[in-house]
Amino acid sequence: MRTLEEVRATLQIAKLKEEDLQKTIHCLSFGPNVSSADYCLMELDDTLCKHIEAGQSLVIRGDKDEHAVVCSDDKTYSLKIADTSNLLLFLPGCRTPDQLTDTEDSSHVVHAQIWGFCNSYWELRKQRPRLKKLKRLLMENPYEGPALGGQQENTENRYTMQDLLERIQASEEEIRTHLETIHACQIDGYWRVLDFDYEMKLLGHVTQLVDSESWAFSRVPLQTSLDELAPLEPREMIEHCLNCYGKRYTENDEVFYALNEDKVCWGIALMLLHNAVKFNLKEFQEVWQQSVPEGMSTRLDQLKGIALLDRTSRPETICLLRVEDLPEDTVERFNHLFTLREKWTEEDITPYIQDLCGEKQTTGALLTKYARSSMQNGIKVFNSRRPVAT
C-alpha cells in the first residue's frame, strides 16, 4: 500500500503539481485472481438505466444460429461488442470526482482494489424486432376450427406465450402487438394463427349475418351475433373475427362492433388473390366490388402491402405480394424486390419497405441508401445499385 509520501514522490517525478489535483487520491491495486473474463460491461442509455434502476430486467434472446438481441418489456436492442483502447477497470466503492466531498484541507490517500478489467463492452442499439419467425412457428399448426366428431386435434407444434418469448427475438409487448396484427388468438392457453380458409369462412358468416339482418356496419350487436352463429362456429371464434375486422364499443350496457370497411375489403381481396398468379386488374376490381358486403366500397389503396399492380402491362394486372412474405433483412428485401421488378416508383415500393424504417428514419432515406434513382417518362423510378441475379 502506497503512503502519501510515496504518492508525492511519484507526482514530483511526473512533474505534476499536487495543488492541481483532487484532495482525495485513489491508490489502485489488483485483487487476487483478477481476470478479464470475470465480468462483461454493457453500455445503457438513460431509458434502460431507469428501467434497471426501477427493478426491471433485460433479457438476452436468440437461438444458436442467430445474433443475440437484448429485450426490455417493450423494446428490442441489437447487441454488439465494441472494443476500446483504454483499459476499463472495475472498482467497487470507488467514487468519481463529482461524488467526492473533500472537506479536508490536505491530501489523503484512499486505497481501492481492482476486481476486474476489460478491453471491450457490449453496445446496445434500438432495432426492429425480428418477428417473421413468429408467424412461421404458428403456421406449423394453424387452427382450422373445432375437431369434427371422432377426429383428434393435432396437439403438436403449439406455443404458449412463454414458448414464444424463448424463441422470438422481440419484447413481449412487440410480440403481443404482432400477434394481433396477424389475427392470432389464444386457444386452450396456446397462441394459434387461423387457417386462411377458416378465417375467411368466419368473416363470411359475419358479413352474411349483417346483410340478412340489415344491420348497419357500424352497429353489429355482439350477443345477437353470437346467438345466431353459435350453431355454425364456436362463440369465441365469432367474437375473435369481430375483433379482427371491427372495433368494439358499448352503448347502454350492450356491446356492439363497428366493422372496419378497409379491413373487410382487404380480407376479401386477399381471398380472391390467394389462388391466382395474376389477375386482370379491371376484372379483379369488378369481382372484388361484387364480393364485398353491399354498402361497402373497394379502393386500390386498401391493398397496400398485399398486392402489386402492373400498370405497364396490357391489360393492366394485379397479383398477390404480401410484405410479410418478404425477407426481414434490409439488403435481402431490396434484392428480392428488384428481382421481382427492375424499376419501381416510390408509390409502389413504399408499402414494401415502410416496416424497415428505424426510429426517425424515412423511406426516402432507405431508397437513397439502397437504390439508385432515375427519370423514366417524367416519373422518378428506383432500381438496384448493383446487378441483381434473376
| pLDDT tens digits, 276-319 | 888 999 999 999 999 999 889 999 999 999 999 998 889 999 99
**Residue 179 included in any domain:** yes
DSSP E strands in the chain: the ranges are 24-30, 42-43, 59-61, 69-71, 76-90, 108-114, 116-127, 184-187, 190-193, 220-221, 246-251, 254-259, 279-280, 307-310, 317-320, 344-345, 371-376, 379-384
Same domain, 201 and 171: no
Q: What is the pLDDT of residues 210-222, one digit of tens each?
A: 999 999 999 999 9
**Residue 151 included in any domain:** no
Highest mean pLDDT (candidates 85-99, 347-361, 375-389) = 347-361
Same domain, 136 and 215: no
Same domain, 238 and 164: no
Same domain, 102 and 207: no
Query: Would you say 127 and 78 are in contact if contact means Cβ atoms under 8 Å apart?
Result: yes
Highest mean pLDDT (candidates 30-34, 122-126, 168-172) = 168-172
* pLDDT confidence tier of residue 389, bands split at 50, 70 and 90: low
**Residue 313 included in any domain:** yes
Grid coordinates in use for 376?
A: 423514366
* pLDDT confidence tier of residue 388, bands split at 50, 70 and 90: low
Query: Can you tell me the distance from the alpha carbon of 283 to that of 269, in angstroms, rounded to the nearest whole number?
Result: 13
Highest mean pLDDT (candidates 5-9, 149-153, 183-187, 272-276) = 183-187
Which residues span the domain enclosing 223? 196-259
C-alpha 193, offset from chain centre:
17
C-alpha 111, offset from chain centre:
48
Same domain, 285 and 250: no
Sheet holding 344-345, edge to edge: 344-345, 379-384, 371-376
**Residue 266 included in any domain:** no
Query: Can you tell me the distance from the alpha carbon of 282 to that of 314, in angstroms, rounded to the nearest whole number?
Result: 11
- DSSP letter for each residue of 278-336: -EEHHHHHHHHHHHSPTT----GGGGTTTEEEESSSSS-EEEE--GGGS-SSHHHHHHH
Q: Is it the case that residue 130 has pLDDT exceeding 80?
A: yes
Query: Can you tell me the distance from the alpha carbon of 233 to that of 210, in angstroms, rounded to the nearest whole number?
Result: 16
**Residue 164 included in any domain:** yes
Q: Is 298 exposed, middle or buried (0-12, 13-18, 19+ CB in 10 A)?
A: buried
Indicate the average pLDDT of the chain.
90
Q: Count of domains in the chain? A: 4
Same domain, 282 and 176: no
Same domain, 17 and 108: yes
| Residue in the structure block whose three cell numbers are 486505497 | 111
* pLDDT confidence tier of residue 345, bands split at 50, 70 and 90: very high
Highest mean pLDDT (candidates 29-33, 63-67, 263-267) = 263-267
CB atoms within 10 A of CB 256: 22
Query: Would you say 373 and 381 are in contact if contact means Cβ atoms under 8 Å apart?
Result: yes
Same domain, 177 and 213: no
Query: Can you tell me the distance from the alpha carbon of 318 to that of 166, in angstroms, rounded to the nearest whole number?
Result: 39
Residues counted in the chain = 390
